[in-house]
Amino acid sequence: MYGKDMNELVLVLDFGGQYKELIAGAVRKLSVYSEIKPGHLRAAEIRRINPIGIILTGGPNSVYLPDSAQCDPAIFTLGIPILGICYGMQMMCHMLGGGVSAGETGEYGRVTVIPSNQSVLFDTDKPFKALMSHKDAVTRLPKGFIASASTASCFAACENPAKKLYGVQFHPETKHTDGGQEIIKTFLFKICCAAGDYKLDDYIDTQVRKIRQEAGKENVLLALSGGVDSSVCASLLSKAIPGQLVCIFVDHGFMRLNEGDEIEDLFSRQKLRFIRVNAQARFLAKLKGISNPEKKRKIIGKEFIRVFEEEAAKLGRIPYLAQGTIYPDVVESGGAFGATIKSHHNVGGLPKNLSFTKIIEPLSGLFKDEVRVLGRKLGLPAFLVNRQPFPGPGLAIRITGEVTKKKLELLRKADAILREELDRLKHRPDQYFTVLTDTLSVGVKGDDRTYDPVIAVRAVSTGDFMTCEYSPIPHRILSRISSRITGEIPSVSRVVYDITSKPPATVEWE
Ligand code: XMP
């Protein structure tokens, strides 16, 4: 079964914390369906939705400031179990008459937490390490609450079991908290009495029926990028409406080694009409003389739409468009704020003003992990299902400076070497790639002096790609990567390893 109309639901109320998707994902991994909603959702609406539990997320503000986000105070009297995390715990305590103030130093990173043996939320009284990231702290508990865990400097958790209200100052949803999943499990199964009825097993059948209903007898067009989302979407649609689906793969020429051919090979064997548009020369011509990263991104995004529209027009009337939109895209577009660091371009992300009368988005309720599970169930190959994130503009934004055919060929070779070396590791970084920098450096090969480009290796560990740390790849592997790249590609003078976190850097260089 799938969806809030059929499953038990846990609501994740969002107060602007970075980890809302991790929280909702952690709940779903435990077989309980979850959805993210704005923090100010009214209690009456929550009563109507009737969740079995509510989780209040973290947030960037101080609860005692006048404009800081607050939930409807009536949610605390609904009798629905509530777990407040970080800001969520502080807000609950503040609103129920406790005290919250700025600590002297705050707590950041993995901190030792000592649970009390009186707690319902912890089934251990052994100290454990938990991820903390807070300056403010609860200084006085509201009436009826007990401290269920502490650190050297704060209440790490509190609870009022009679009212089914629970709070943790740390982040059980991240892998940096030991036993974090157990805490969420206790909340779901012991406190909310969940049955755990959310499984992806019959998602394919449910969606196939739904797609058939939505599409009727009409033809449907899909922009296929070869990324996980659009590929799983294509596979699902081809199962539902094989004769009515047309997939257009715009090959902009910025894919990695053999990637375009692999995508063509796979999808031209499926029950759908697959069109590969070889637009490499066209994209390269548009990028001639362009070095500015934002300009490159914009040009590629615009050109992509142009090519797609031209191809679609050749096909005659196709009234419906399918997109591989996933749940985080829906959540982000509902409440995105903050500065534009980069104008992200998703090859599948087309503007809404294209002349389609209906948009079909069969993955819009799923997290990335769930899309991968579905891809496996649909029989897609591992190289596709486990694909790392790859930016829409592809290798064009992994070449600093002007993009040329020669540079693309060089970068493809370096990238293939890096992937070959890191793919075989047991514990791989979450994303890894090479960048062709526009720095030239002096080298010596044989008896000759060389003056050639520098390749940078980027490999990061991250949960959500909002922040990341560089991966501590063992030196012997780095050294093999370096000697292979400089040895197998004569025109590279040296290899450097990027050891910057995000922030202050971003994952990609451009
Ligand atoms: P940044 O560089 O913003 O990247 O730290 C975060 C994650 O997003 C990927 N990325 C993109 N994905 N279109 C995409 O679909 C884009 O234009 C784009 N730019 C960056 C990046 O690879 C990393 O995983």
Express each pLDDT in 300-312 by its tens digit: 999 998 999 899 8
Q: How confident is the model at residue 507 (pLDDT cuts 50, 70, 90)?
A: very high
Q: Identify the top-confidence range among 74-78, 326-330, 466-470.
A: 74-78
Q: For residue 463, how far is its CA from the centre of ligand 1 (angstroms)?
A: 14
391 within ligand 1 shell (Cβ under 6 A): yes
Q: What mean pLDDT is predicted for residues 310-322?
A: 91
Q: For residue 229, how far is its CA from the centre of ligand 1 (angstroms)?
A: 14
Distances, alpha carbon 242 to alpha carbons 246, 264, 379, 481, 491, in Å: 9, 17, 16, 44, 47
Q: What mean pLDDT is predicted for residues 164-189?
A: 96
Q: For residue 448, how far is its CA from the centre of ligand 1 (angstroms)?
A: 39
Q: What mean pLDDT is predicted for residues 207-235?
A: 95
Q: What mean pLDDT is predicted for residues 60-78?
A: 95
431 within ligand 1 shell (Cβ under 6 A): yes
Q: For residue 262, how far is its CA from the centre of ligand 1 (angstroms)?
A: 22
Ligand 1 closest atom vs CA 506: 5
- For the record, the structure tokens of 224 come out as 């296929």
Sort residue 50 into left (φ over 0), alpha (ψ -120 to 50) or beta: left
Q: What mean pLDDT is predicted for residues 122-147?
A: 94
Closest-CA residue, ligand 1 atom 3, reads: 506
507 within ligand 1 shell (Cβ under 6 A): yes
pLDDT at 445: 86
Unique residue bearing structure tokens 């094989």: 242
Express each pLDDT in 82-130 by its tens digit: 999 999 999 999 999 999 999 888 898 899 999 999 999 998 899 999 9
What single DSSP character describes residue 186? I
Pocket test for ligand 1, best of 225, 230, 345, 465 (most atoms within 8 A of CB): 465
Show the 3-state SS of 373-432: HHHHHCCCCHHHHCCCCCCCCHHHHCECCCCCHHHHHHHHHHHHHHHHHHHCCCCCCCEE
Q: How far apart are CA 46 and CA 357, in angstroms?
A: 33
pLDDT at 344: 63
Q: How confident is the model at residue 141 (pLDDT cuts 50, 70, 90)?
A: very high
pLDDT at 348: 47
Closest-CA residue, ligand 1 atom 24, reads: 389
Q: How confident is the model at residue 228 (pLDDT cuts 50, 70, 90)?
A: very high
Q: How confident is the model at residue 347 (pLDDT cuts 50, 70, 90)?
A: very low
- Is the link from the previous residue into 127 a cis peptide, with omega within 30 of 0? no
Is the predicted pLDDT of residue 505 greater than 60, yes or no?
yes
Provide the residue type at 63 as one letter. Answer: V
Q: What mean pLDDT is predicted for residues 316-342?
A: 75
Closest-CA residue, ligand 1 atom 20, reads: 391
Q: What mean pLDDT is predicted for residues 364-387?
A: 93
Contact between 157 and 147 (Cβ < 8 Å): yes
Contact between 310 and 275 (Cβ < 8 Å): no
| ∠ Cα 277 280 285 (to 5°) | 130
Catalytic positions, written as ranges: 86, 171, 173
Unique residue bearing structure tokens 């997939």: 247
pLDDT at 411: 98
Ligand 1 closest atom vs CA 397: 19
CA 35 to chain centre: 16
Lowest average pLDDT, out of 251-260, 344-353, 472-481, goes to 344-353
Lowest average pLDDT, out of 218-222, 341-345, 473-477, goes to 341-345
- For the record, the structure tokens of 257 come out as 């080694």
List the one residue out of 305, 245, 301 whose CA is nearest residue 275: 245
Count CB neighbours of 268 within 10 A: 14
- For the record, the structure tokens of 449 come out as 């002096």
21 within ligand 1 shell (Cβ under 6 A): no
Is the predicted pLDDT of residue 420 greater than 80, yes or no?
yes
What single DSSP character describes residue 446? T
Q: What mean pLDDT is predicted for residues 19-41?
A: 95
Is the predicted pLDDT of residue 337 greater than 50, yes or no?
no
Chain-wide mean pLDDT for the chain? Answer: 92
Is the predicted pLDDT of residue 2 greater than 60, yes or no?
no
pLDDT at 332: 74
Q: How confident is the model at residue 184 (pLDDT cuts 50, 70, 90)?
A: very high
Q: For residue 17, how far is its CA from the centre of ligand 1 (angstroms)?
A: 20
Coil vs helix vs strand at 191: helix
Ligand 1 closest atom vs CA 227: 15
pLDDT at 202: 83
Contact between 113 and 170 (Cβ < 8 Å): yes
pLDDT at 343: 65
pLDDT at 197: 93
Q: How confident is the model at residue 250 (pLDDT cuts 50, 70, 90)?
A: very high
342 within ligand 1 shell (Cβ under 6 A): yes
Is the predicted pLDDT of residue 233 greater than 70, yes or no?
yes
List the one residue out of 66, 103, 71 whose CA is nearest residue 167: 71
- Is the link from the previous residue into 503 a cis peptide, with omega within 30 of 0? yes
Is the predicted pLDDT of residue 353 greater than 90, yes or no?
no
Q: How far apart are CA 89 and CA 158, in angstroms?
A: 8
Question: Helices (H) and strands (E) in the chain — how many of each?
Answer: 14, 18
Q: What mean pLDDT is predicted for residues 417-430?
A: 95
Q: What mean pLDDT is predicted for residues 466-470?
A: 86
510 within ligand 1 shell (Cβ under 6 A): no
345 within ligand 1 shell (Cβ under 6 A): yes
Is the predicted pLDDT of residue 502 greater than 90, yes or no?
no
Q: For residue 508, how far is its CA from the centre of ligand 1 (angstroms)?
A: 7
pLDDT at 503: 85
Q: How confident is the model at residue 342 (pLDDT cuts 50, 70, 90)?
A: low
pLDDT at 340: 53
Longest Cα–Cα distance in the chain: 80
Q: How far apart are CA 476 and CA 50, in angstroms?
A: 55
Q: How confident is the model at residue 447 (pLDDT cuts 50, 70, 90)?
A: confident
Element (H, E) at 249: strand 245-251
